[in-house]
């Protein structure tokens, strides 16, 4: 997914600096479409994944607190790692309310 974002940003930069010939009008770039596609195809799905992994983490930690066993502790640790990875996948995307705070 990060590779898609990098490719999208590279294409944006490349197209914004491409020289236009005198005979043709410079190409227009639809920044709104790029933002919308990024939100719909990256930010929303990855945010849903983060929410699901956070719920899973909460459940596993609660289970560990209620009945502390080696198995429940390992499950909580795995859930923590998954939640951390889910957060890491979107932390650099600062759109809308995620920019606040």
The first and second tokens of residue 17, run together, are 């600096």
Dihedral of CA 40/42/45/48: which sign? Answer: negative
- Please name the residue that has the structure tokens 């990024």: 38
Half-sphere exposure of 16 (CA within 13 A, CB side): 8
Residue 87 has pLDDT above 60, yes or no: yes
Residue 54 has pLDDT above 90, yes or no: yes
pTM for the model stands at: 0.63
Please provide the average confidence, as pLDDT, over all residues in the chain: 83
Distance CA 5, CA 95 (A): 14
Q: Looking at per-residue confidence, does 30 or 14 come out higher?
A: 30
List C-alpha distances in Å: 82 to 14, 43, 76: 35, 17, 10
Residues in the chain: 101
Do 39 and 95 contact (CB within 8 A), yes or no? yes
Element (H, E) at 34: helix 31-38
Q: Percentage of the chain with pLDDT > 70? A: 66
């Amino acid at each position: 997914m990060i590779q898609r974002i990098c490719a999208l940003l590279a294409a944006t930069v490349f197209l914004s600096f491409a020289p236009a010939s005198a005979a043709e009008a410079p190409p227009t770039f639809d920044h709104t479409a790029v933002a919308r596609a990024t939100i719909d195809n990256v930010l929303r799905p990855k945010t849903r994944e983060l929410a699901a992994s956070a719920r899973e983490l909460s459940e596993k930690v609660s289970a560990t607190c209620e009945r502390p066993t080696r198995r429940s502790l390992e499950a909580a640790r795995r859930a923590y790692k998954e939640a951390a990875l889910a957060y890491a996948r979107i932390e650099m995307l600062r759109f809308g309310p995620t920019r606040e705070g």
